[in-house]
Structure 1
Amino acid sequence: MSTHAGSAAQGPIRPQVTADSVGFWEGCREGVLRLPACEDCGYVLYPPGPICPRCPSRSLAPRDLEPEGRVYSLTVSHQPARPDLPVPYTIAIVELDAAPEVRMTLRVRPADQHAELAIGDRVRIGFEHVDDDFAVPVADPLAGEAGGDRHRSELGRVTFARVSGDKPEHRAVIAGVGQSAVGRRLMRSELDLTVDAALAAIADAGLAPGDIDGIAAYPGAGVGPPGYAGPHTDEVAAALGLELAWHRAGAEGAGQLQPIIDAVLAVAGGLCTHALVYRTSIESTVAAAMRAGIMAPPPVGPAGGFTEWLLPFDAVTPAHWLAPYAARHQHQFGTTRAQLGAIALTARANAARTPGAVMTEPLTMDEYLASRPIATPLHLLDCDVPVDGSTAVVVSRADRAADLPGPAVRIEAMGTGVGLRPSWHQWPDLTTMAASGAAATMWARTDLTPADVDVAQLYDGFSFLALFWLEALGFCEHGDGGPFVEGGGRIALGGELPLNTGGGQLSGGRLHGWGLLREACLQLRGQATGRQVDAEVAVVSTGGGPVAGCLLLTRAG
């Protein structure tokens, strides 16, 4: 997963204060924990907002809260957030005594507490004054107040009404798949790589650029740090000489698969006939350019949107945001690093069979366990590999499938749901995530079941995300993901559920889930030479935390 750069300035990243959050930050400056509370039901809002999500009532009033609570989860960061903050340091998710519905992501002080603090320990929220205008809350461990985790488990599974009859999924197919070169520091432009992938996908579909009348992309130009977003759809359309009836790009929705879903809906609704959909990143090239001084790092802050409640607390990368999920799963279910290692070793073994994968040298469990820590319990080999590359697909009307030069991939069901409060750390139970909602909507749109799936391509921006997806999709019970993957037998090429057969992102390279989509298509088309499994049904997922989407794909009959 992509990362935000730490601040080059002294002190934490400052928030972009809004009309909703100004009372909270003013309270911090005064040394008071102040949040809006509902006058009708008593619910305390964090992050602050204008309406109670429980009632919903607009009758809110500021409330000064007793600043004590327990550690719900935590991670020890071994990477610096800023030059003046020594590592390692601890980030804790603190559940308030006075309002258990509130979980705050806070840096723990002093820094040497990383060796002692544990889930369930009590803390008091203090305030670190940066200057006269800005103070940031921090968690101070309370001496002699260890243990006692509430261990409340409010499983975040949701259900959705069954969908039957005619579905837009059945009116569209994936007609072509293409990919550019994939590698480290390719030093090529986003547009250059995208054109390669697009032309390959169009040719694979037996089409010419002039046949393409729709285009979509994730996440849309200008979103995220440099190198992350890929080129604007207008640039790609102009480069290829496309005449478009429909176009779309954006970051919100069912994770990185949202533009595929958008294209299916557009094709099924008659807005276009053949939609080119792509995802491109040159994060590796940009990082190299910044290290060489060819490109200046982007300015950092102020932190707005969801990052207002993460970056000022020195939780500055997705590893910081997601590692507490893994830590909570370990705490609650006894999941081990060796079990997560089975996912990493499986990915590496599969990458060795996959042309273009970036990490192909043999990997042992001892090497995995000895890799350097990033944000506990995540170590280097739990993290995906940043690369440059572009992947493209063509989504076409299903009635054109018979005219394709090769087999089409049919879209059986799309998983788009959330179902829970979409926040990084406010889920009822951090041993699950938005994957539960996405999976529930997908299974509600098909008569197929997890037992029908032959191969799984599950998002592995971090190793444990694939484990969470296995649970969310129903391949094992909630909490049983560790035993399911232990030893790697079940998820190997010859196992009951081959996982990430192209190496995933852990060894194939970080293509933000689109390498997984391409691999699913190759498997269903019988084109995954050297790693082919007998696959008629495949599932693909992307996303972690509050971001999730999934697709159930089938071999064309």
Structure 2
Amino acid sequence: MAQPISDQIAIAGVHSAPYTRSRGMTPLAMVTEACVGALRDAGLGPGDVDGLSGSQLVHSNELQSALGIPGITWWCNQRIPVYHQLFEAMYAVWSGAATTVLVYHVTYRAPGVSRSAAADPYRRRFGLGTNVPNKNPDAAVNAVGYATWAGRYLHDFGLDRTTFGMVAVNGRSNALLNDHAAMRRPLTMDDYLAAPMLREPLTMLDMDLPVDGADAFVVTTTERARDLPRRPVTIHAASMGQARVNNEEQLVDLDHTGQQIAAAGMWSRSDATLRDVDVFLPYDGFSIIEARWFEVIGYCGPGEAHDFMKHHWNTERGRVEIDGRVLVNPHGGSLADGGTQGSGHFREAVLQLRGEASNGRQVPGAATALVTSGGFFFNSAAAILRADEG
């Protein structure tokens, strides 16, 4: 059932500092570029902003000075993924703590994630980055944890790695139509199966791509957004989810994660159903996460993601097309667009619902987008966004 806040808060502007393997810019510079573009997209200026909501890599006080915003009445700097920043902004505008909030997110490769990052003296000196390797080699976190549960998933349901391969190939096929995607070379299942194994059963193609870049969104009331240049994209329903046991090695099983809580919370706050969804944007920081989102969100049952994707697979285009019309991560997702920690998924949702996705990846008549952000443990969320009808 829809809540009082449903569709009352809107995203009125969006912009990216394009994600690449190396931008040659600092995090603050990339965030500033994205925010300036988002404000211009919304037809606003720094003086119209009275709230900032961003990740901890660039603090709000630094960004306020960089943008020349005269004064703000609300700000927050939450941990990743980006839905934290977006949902906090939504509630701030709804409560009246702010009227117009700039939401921003930046990723910056740490020295330990690539040769080019390791060769950058600035990154080495300050240890900057959002993809920091585990300091404790015995901790079952990040890639170690997801690889462990990916292996359990394949074992329990009698599946092989082609399940995850379809996730990777789908993302790459869609990324071919996205000028901003970091990886735009075609990928076949044979390519996937031959990729270097990093942590059994996950290869380098199962893990999101470390990139530099930033996204920014302008969040305000739907009523105000209707007076601005772009078609508003409303937040119809949103929920976070965190299970009682929420660390990798202690997780009960894959049926008791934050995903189930987020999905149930979102559907309980929504008038929409899966039949209404025109574009599906499941988080894919690791391929196993996207496979599970198909199941948890209700497209199929536990262990059935492989058969579901195969049934809806367009062989000619090398991608999933649910019922021949609903695209899955048409921007390429984290595995191809780049490891944006979810901001790319929300960015693509906004572009799709405004009818502005480029290069033939636009879903005709897209009016409802389903975005599932985050992983299993302490960072799950789900949201339905809508193209405003007002």
- Normalising by structure 2, we get a TM-score of 0.90
Aligned position for 1:210: 47
Between 1 and 2, higher relative CO (CA 8 Å, sep ≥ 6) is seen in 2
Other structure's SS at 2:356 match = coil
Structure 1, gaps ≥5 residues long: 1-162, 221-228, 300-306
Aligned position for 2:345: 516
Instruction: Write the deviation string for residues 122-168 of structure 1: whole angstroms up to 9, x where unpaired.
Output: xxxxxxxxxxxxxxxxxxxxxxxxxxxxxxxxxxxxxxxxx55522x
- Which residue, out of 60, 64, 73, partners 1:233? 60
Other structure's SS at 1:170 match = coil
| Correspondence 1:154-553 to 2 at 5 A | 164-167=2-5, 169-218=6-55, 220=56, 229=57, 231-242=58-69, 243-251=71-79, 255-283=81-109, 287=114, 288-291=116-119, 295-296=123-124, 312=136, 314-315=138-139, 318-430=142-254, 433-486=257-310, 488-489=313-314, 491-492=320-321, 495-529=324-358, 530-534=360-364, 535-546=366-377, 547-553=379-385
Please state how far the C-alpha of 1:205 moved relative to its aligned partner. 1.0
Name the CA distance, whole Å, in 2 between partners of 1:481 and 1:525. 29
Q: Which one-letter code corresponds to 1:185 in the other structure?
A: S
Contact 1:457 1:500 in 2 (8 A): yes
Q: Which one-letter code corresponds to 2:47 in the other structure?
A: G
Aligned position for 1:554: 386
Please state how far the C-alpha of 1:421 moved relative to its aligned partner. 2.2
Q: Which one-letter code corresponds to 1:270 in the other structure?
A: G
Q: Who wins on radius of gyration, i.e. which is larger?
A: 1
Moved more, 347-356 or 476-485: 476-485
Q: Aligned in 2, Cα 1:502/1:295: closer, same or farther, shift over 3 Å?
A: closer
Name the CA distance, whole Å, in 2 between partners of 1:437 and 1:246. 28
Other structure's SS at 1:492 match = strand
Contact 2:283 2:342 in 1 (8 A): yes
Q: Aligned in 2, Cα 1:289/1:533: closer, same or farther, shift over 3 Å?
A: closer
Aligned position for 1:114: none
Aligned position for 2:130: none
Name the CA distance, whole Å, in 1 between partners of 2:35 and 2:123. 27
Other structure's SS at 2:97 match = coil
Contact 2:372 2:383 in 1 (8 A): yes
Contact 2:325 2:363 in 1 (8 A): no
Aligned position for 1:102: none
Q: Aligned in 2, Cα 1:503/1:284: closer, same or farther, shift over 3 Å?
A: farther
Contact 1:432 1:468 in 2 (8 A): no
Report runs of 4+ in structure 1 exceeding 4 Å deviation. 284-287, 292-295, 310-313
Please state how far the C-alpha of 1:171 moved relative to its aligned partner. 2.5
Other structure's SS at 2:328 match = coil
Structure 2, gaps ≥5 residues long: 128-132
Instruction: Write the deviation string for residues 36-62 of structure 1: whole angstroms up to 9, x where unpaired.
Output: xxxxxxxxxxxxxxxxxxxxxxxxxxx
Other structure's SS at 2:33 match = helix
Q: Which one-letter code corresponds to 2:388 in the other structure?
A: A
Moved more, 489-498 or 421-430: 489-498
Please state how far the C-alpha of 1:217 moved relative to its aligned partner. 0.9
Q: Aligned in 2, Cα 1:277/1:264: closer, same or farther, shift over 3 Å?
A: same
Name the CA distance, whole Å, in 2 between partners of 1:494 and 1:362. 24
Name the CA distance, whole Å, in 1 between partners of 2:45 and 2:125. 39
Q: Which one-letter code corresponds to 1:166 in the other structure?
A: P
Other structure's SS at 1:416 match = strand
Contact 2:8 2:234 in 1 (8 A): no
Instruction: Write the deviation string for residues 483-519 of structure 1: whole angstroms up to 9, x where unpaired.
Output: 1112734823883531100011111111111011100
Q: Aligned in 2, Cα 1:312/1:451: closer, same or farther, shift over 3 Å?
A: same
Q: Which one-letter code corresponds to 1:232 in the other structure?
A: H
Other structure's SS at 2:248 match = coil
Moved more, 386-395 or 288-297: 288-297
Root-mean-square deviation (CA), in Å?
Answer: 2.2
Name the CA distance, whole Å, in 2 between partners of 1:336 and 1:463. 13
Aligned position for 1:12: none
Name the CA distance, whole Å, in 2 between partners of 1:442 and 1:462. 22
Please state how far the C-alpha of 1:181 moved relative to its aligned partner. 2.5
Instruction: Write the deviation string for residues 469-490 of structure 1: whole angstroms up to 9, x where unpaired.
Output: 1111111112211211127348
Name the CA distance, whole Å, in 2 between partners of 1:402 and 1:503. 30
Please state how far the C-alpha of 1:422 moved relative to its aligned partner. 2.2
- Normalising by structure 1, we get a TM-score of 0.64
Q: Which one-letter code corresponds to 1:556 in the other structure?
A: D
Q: Aligned in 2, Cα 1:294/1:273: closer, same or farther, shift over 3 Å?
A: closer
Q: State how many pairs are aligned.
A: 373
Please state how far the C-alpha of 1:294 moved relative to its aligned partner. 5.4
Q: Aligned in 2, Cα 1:182/1:494: closer, same or farther, shift over 3 Å?
A: farther
Contact 2:52 2:74 in 1 (8 A): yes
Q: Aligned in 2, Cα 1:480/1:348: closer, same or farther, shift over 3 Å?
A: same
Q: Aligned in 2, Cα 1:484/1:296: closer, same or farther, shift over 3 Å?
A: same
Contact 1:186 1:285 in 2 (8 A): no
Q: Aligned in 2, Cα 1:267/1:338: closer, same or farther, shift over 3 Å?
A: same
Please state how far the C-alpha of 1:397 moved relative to its aligned partner. 1.3
Other structure's SS at 2:37 match = helix
Q: Aligned in 2, Cα 1:165/1:515: closer, same or farther, shift over 3 Å?
A: closer
Q: Aligned in 2, Cα 1:311/1:519: closer, same or farther, shift over 3 Å?
A: same
Q: Which one-letter code corresponds to 2:4 in the other structure?
A: D
